[in-house]
A = this chain, B = another copy of it.
Amino acid sequence: MKELLLKYMDTFTSLSEREQQEIVDTIVLEEYPKGSYLMKQGDKPTSKCYFTLQGCVRQFYVDEAGKEVTSNFYTEEQAILGFNTLAKDDHTSDFSLICMEDCVLVVGDLDNEEKMFHKYTQLETMTRKMMEIYLSEAQEERAVFIHSKPEERYKIMVQKRPHLVNRVPQHQLASYLGMTPESLSRIKRRMNNELVKDLES
């Protein structure tokens, strides 16, 4: 599994093989079986942060009406942040994080991070570049999302995260896309029909 990390580092840094190996050796990988919670809504977040190497983590919250809302899915090579609780009065988490599959995660400790970055400045460079790409994507996603109809949202998701469709329960996927499960079924049926017609013509 650590090979994946090395590959990832190689894309973003020019660290020597020895340095890369040194870093990878100090990084903590943890396995979380399906159903594990990384955090529960209302808990005080710890100083931990995560990076998904394998598996799928769902972020969700229960709203005031008691309805469960899925707000994100984190899959391979995605950082799980959202510990930005500084702005809130009671410093508790607004959401839960649950492993939807058996997961392998890089577990970072924000308290140690500084030390690591101080020792390996290139690691900080890598993190900074990753953050810039993620932020740029998040800004773009918001822009597209807010003005698109449910069918377009589904198409964009299929295009950008095709693996999600078969990995998570459909009612959670519908929630993530901001639509009802019925709408999602209808959209999928319609798209399948179009595909069949295209293949027949």
Interface residues of A (CB under 8 A from B): 59, 61, 63, 69, 71-72, 81-84, 94-95, 117, 121, 124-125, 127-128, 131-147, 175-178
Contacts and interface: CB of A to CB of B under 8 A. Distances in A.
A124 B140 CA distance: 23
Contacts of A127: 128
Nearest to A95: B143
Nearest to A179: B146
In the A-B complex, list the 7 residue pairs whose CB atoms are closest, starting with the nearest: A71-B143, A131-B131, A84-B136, A138-B138, A146-B178, A128-B128, A81-B136
Contact of A72 (B63, B143, B175): B143
A103 to B, nearest CB: 19
A111 to B, nearest CB: 14
A129 to B, nearest CB: 9
